[in-house]
């Protein structure tokens, strides 16, 4: 795994763009930019440092779980607001 990430870093440093998909949050810290998804939705577009700073966490797994919780709360708020304005359920 270390060798693979060394290859990735070398290719990126040479100017190429790589898209890495992983469920391992420690690996996310090796990337320059992050798009974090949950339930098919992007819940963050940030940097590894930004992820930790924005969530107040030092562990990337805890940071992701913080974002998931925020997203769930935002999603519930959006549904409430929709019901208040339109008198029905939003289909999301």
Q: What is the pLDDT of residues 48-74, one digit of tens each?
A: 999 999 999 999 999 999 999 998 887
The answer, yes or no, to whether residue 80 has pLDDT greater than 80, is no
Q: So what's the pLDDT on residue 39?
A: 84
What pairs with residue 42 in β-bridges? Answer: 37
The answer, yes or no, to whether residue 91 has pLDDT greater than 90, is no
Give the per-residue SS3 of the chain. Answer: CHHHHHHHHHHHHCCCCCCCCCCCHHHHCCCCCEEEEECCEEEEEECHHHHHHHHCCCCHHHHHHHHHHHHHHHHHHHHHHHHHHHCCCCCC
What pairs with residue 34 in β-bridges? Answer: 46
The answer, yes or no, to whether residue 83 has pLDDT greater than 70, is yes
Q: So what's the pLDDT on residue 19?
A: 94
Sequence ranges of the domains in the chain = 19-86
What pairs with residue 46 in β-bridges? Answer: 34
Q: So what's the pLDDT on residue 55?
A: 96
């Amino acid at each position: 795994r270390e060798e693979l990430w060394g290859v990735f870093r070398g290719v990126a440093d040479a100017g190429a763009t790589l898209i890495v998909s992983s469920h391992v949050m420690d690996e996310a810290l090796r990337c320059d930019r992050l798009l974090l998804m949950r339930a098919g939705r992007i819940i963050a577009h940030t940097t590894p440092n930004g992820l930790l700073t924005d969530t107040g966490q030092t562990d990337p797994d805890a940071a992701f779980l913080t974002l998931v919780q925020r997203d769930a709360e935002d999603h519930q708020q959006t549904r409430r607001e929709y019901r208040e304005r339109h008198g029905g359920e939003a289909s999301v």
